[in-house]
């Protein structure tokens, strides 16, 4: 399996602008710029897209871990927060925090937390990251 996306940037860093598109067409010439990345401009940015990818991947991984334990979640809701920091070499994504809430009939808190931790390390996007990944999990009734 191979997926792709593309980006086009024109101009310098602060005054330039870019467009991001995905093979599926979900993103089509979506705007990004210095202001959408470092300020509050309208459009997306790489860190937001990484957060979306990680949240989606983690939710699927947790669902799979729960199924492997004989549990069927009603819902899994994950929010990923990506931290971009200035470091010696420039900028780096230093942290990603996953905050998950799930409704899982019949799950104990211990079984849920164990599945949540396994999903954190097993998710393909987590495996890609060099950043510290933290997790807060909440089992809803």
Q: What does the CA dihedral 78, 27, 124, 63 come to, rounded to 10 degrees?
A: 40
User: 12-63 pLDDT, tens per residue?
Assistant: 999 999 999 999 999 999 999 999 998 888 899 999 999 999 999 999 999 9
pLDDT band (50, 70, 90) for residue 8: very high
The string of DSSP letters for 71-117 reads ---SEEEEEEEEEEEEETTEEEEEEEEEEEEEE-TT--HHHHHHHHH
Cβ atoms within 10 A of the Cβ of 13, count?
10
pLDDT of residue 141: 75
Q: Domains in the chain, start-ordered, CATH in brackets?
A: 5-38 (no CATH), 46-140 (3.30.300.20)
């Amino acid at each position: 399996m191979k997926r792709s996306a593309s980006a086009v940037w024109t101009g310098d860093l602060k005054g330039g602008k870019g467009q991001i598109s995905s093979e599926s067409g979900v993103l089509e010439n979506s705007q990004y710029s210095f202001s959408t990345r470092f300020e509050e401009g309208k459009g997306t940015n790489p860190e937001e897209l990484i957060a979306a990818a990680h949240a989606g991947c983690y939710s699927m991984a947790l669902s799979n871990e729960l199924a492997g334990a004989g549990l069927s979640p009603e819902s899994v809701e994950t929010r990923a927060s990506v931290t971009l920091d200035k470091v010696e070499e420039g900028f780096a994504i230093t942290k990603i925090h996953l905050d998950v809430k799930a409704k899982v009939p019949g799950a104990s808190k211990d079984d849920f937390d164990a599945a949540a931790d396994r999903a954190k390390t097993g998710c393909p996007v987590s495996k890609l990251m060099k950043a510290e990944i933290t997790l807060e999990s909440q089992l809803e009734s």
